[in-house]
Amino acid sequence: MSRVGNPYDNAKAESFMKTLKQEDVQGLTYKDADDARRRIGAFIDTVHNTQRRHLAALDYLTPEEYERKHSRGRQMEKAA
């Protein structure tokens, strides 16, 4: 939740919700809440986390690319 007088606390969540609505939810009809959870979860897993680039917080990489890059760095540190 945003603190009083600070509208930027929720900026990342609001940005994600906008993306979700524009790229997946808009115009769709779900059978029930379980169908919505399953289909939105699939969007997050298959599109948002694997294909969409994220801003500076993740060096403009997808979450999977970021994890791969940093896990290789940790492996190299352990080997040294």
Q: What CA–CA distance (Å, rounded) separates 34 from 75?
A: 39
The residue ranking higher by pLDDT, 12 or 71, is 71
Residue 44 in tokens: 């997050």
Q: Where are the domains of the chain?
A: 30-79
DSSP string computed for 3-29: PTT-TTTTHHHHHHHHHHIIIIITT--
The residue ranking higher by pLDDT, 48 or 76, is 48
Q: Report in angstroms the alpha-carbon separations of 80 from 67, 69, 76.
A: 20, 17, 6
For range 2-24, the mean pLDDT: 75
pLDDT value at position 33? Answer: 93
pTM of the shown model: 0.52
Per-residue pLDDT tens for 20-74? 888 788 778 889 999 999 998 988 888 777 766 666 667 777 778 888 888 876 6
